[in-house]
Amino acid sequence: RMAPDIVKQADIFVLHIAEVTGKAIKKQGMKKIALLGTRYVMEGDFYTQILQEKFGLDVMIPDENERTFIHNTIFEELIKGVVSEASRAKFVAIINHLASQGAEGIILGCTEIPLLIEQKHVSVPLFNTTNLHASAAVDLALNESEN
């Protein structure tokens, strides 16, 4: 959320997680994507705005009840290391619901969600933002060290 201010004030390059994610999604040729994360991530615009404006993606979010469930599961279970089969089943149902509404892929926009949901659990492609961001940072570091 603060990346634009940091870039402006410190005049440094910031490897923005939403841009890395948007590139990965566009590379797969997708146009409509769903975003899962904390309530702040799903309802805020710092992620969706980049995906929409820079990558032309149609970004969906779960409905109110689904957002509440996802948010609460993150804070009441996942950050405490609790991985429940009941919560996994509900996440899978939410992902399947989003896919039935046209989502071509799902952004796992929170570090903890991949503890619960992996590609083997669903048929729609998943975008693990933690892995994407870390890989992009390593690539950037390696490319800069070569120059």
Please give the pLDDT value at position 11: 56
**Closest alpha carbon to 107 in 48, 55, 65, 54:** 48
Residue 127: band (very low, low, confident or very high) from pLDDT cuts 50, 70, 90: very high
Please give the pLDDT value at position 7: 47
Angle between helices 48-55 and 17-27 (to 10 degrees): 50
Please give the pLDDT value at position 60: 97
pTM above 0.85, yes or no: yes
Please give the pLDDT value at position 120: 97
* 4's tokens: 């634009």
Strands (E), 1-147: 32-36, 58-60, 105-108, 126-128
In tens, the pLDDT along 91-126 reads: 999 999 999 999 999 999 999 999 999 999 999 999
Instruction: Find where tokens 């949901």 sit.
Output: 117
In tens, the pLDDT along 48-89 reads: 999 999 999 999 999 999 999 999 999 999 999 999 999 999
Residue 1: band (very low, low, confident or very high) from pLDDT cuts 50, 70, 90: low
